């Protein structure tokens, strides 16, 4: 039985169509789909002294409390000193595009009895509140922390 000419014409037309016509391209606003407008926050909201409270591993009698002092180092990086009952930790990291999330690394000095290192994330909730998490190296889950201006 011969192949119908009409069906053959449709198949040839489909086969000759460019393959790019089927691709939609990246979403508007960049690869993440986020609108690339002006920043919605202000990195300056992180600067200053914060009263922090945080959770920790079982047996650490947390929620724990301490202070975090954050300064700008002039290279677009924020640095902080996290003072606790033990050795202070040093935080270093950058603020995201929207200027409302600060992420980076923290470390206690090597001369501490049990120095801790890891990652942190803090999100500005305006000029008076911070929320976020920290995760010591070698742990599977992060711990929450939050801050308020004294």
What's the confidence (pLDDT) of residue 88?
87
Q: Is 5 contained in some domain?
A: no
Cα–Cα distance, 72 to 25 (Å, whole number): 39
What's the confidence (pLDDT) of residue 18?
52
For 117, the 3-state DSSP assignment is strand
Decide if 122 contacts 146 (C-beta within 8 A): no
Total tally of structural domains belonging to the chain: 1
What's the confidence (pLDDT) of residue 16?
55
Q: Is 144 contained in some domain?
A: yes
- If you count them, how many residues does the chain have? 150
CATH of residue 70: 2.40.128.20
What's the confidence (pLDDT) of residue 97?
84
Decide if 64 contacts 74 (C-beta within 8 A): no
Q: Which pLDDT tens digits describe the chain residue by residue (150 residues)?
A: 565 666 556 555 555 555 444 554 444 444 555 556 677 778 888 999 999 998 877 666 777 888 999 999 878 899 999 887 777 889 999 998 888 999 999 998 876 677 789 999 999 988 899 999 999 999 888 999 999 997
Decide if 102 contacts 44 (C-beta within 8 A): no
Q: Is 14 contained in some domain?
A: no
Q: Is 20 contained in some domain?
A: no
Cα–Cα distance, 42 to 78 (Å, whole number): 13
pTM score > 0.75 for this model? no
Q: Could you tell me the residue range of the domain that residue 66 belongs to?
A: 43-148
Q: Is 2 contained in some domain?
A: no
Structure tokens at 89: 């930790």
Structure tokens at 118: 């890891």
Q: Is 141 contained in some domain?
A: yes
Q: Is 11 contained in some domain?
A: no
What's the confidence (pLDDT) of residue 49?
95
Q: Is 116 contained in some domain?
A: yes
């Amino acid at each position: 039985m011969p192949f119908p000419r009409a069906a053959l014409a449709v198949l040839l037309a489909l086969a000759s169509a460019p393959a790019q016509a089927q691709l939609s391209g990246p979403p508007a606003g960049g690869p993440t789909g986020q609108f690339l407008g002006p920043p919605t926050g202000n990195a300056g909201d992180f600067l200053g002294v914060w009263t922090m409270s945080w959770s920790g591993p079982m047996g650490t009698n947390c929620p724990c409390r301490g202070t975090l002092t954050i300064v700008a180092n002039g290279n677009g990086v924020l640095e902080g000193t996290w003072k606790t009952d033990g050795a202070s930790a040093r935080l270093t990291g950058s603020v995201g595009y929207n200027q409302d999330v600060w992420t980076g690394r923290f470390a206690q000095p090597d001369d501490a009895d049990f120095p801790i290192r890891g990652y942190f994330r803090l999100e500005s909730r305006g000029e008076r509140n911070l929320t976020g998490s920290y995760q010591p190296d070698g742990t599977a889950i992060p711990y929450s922390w939050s801050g308020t201006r004294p």
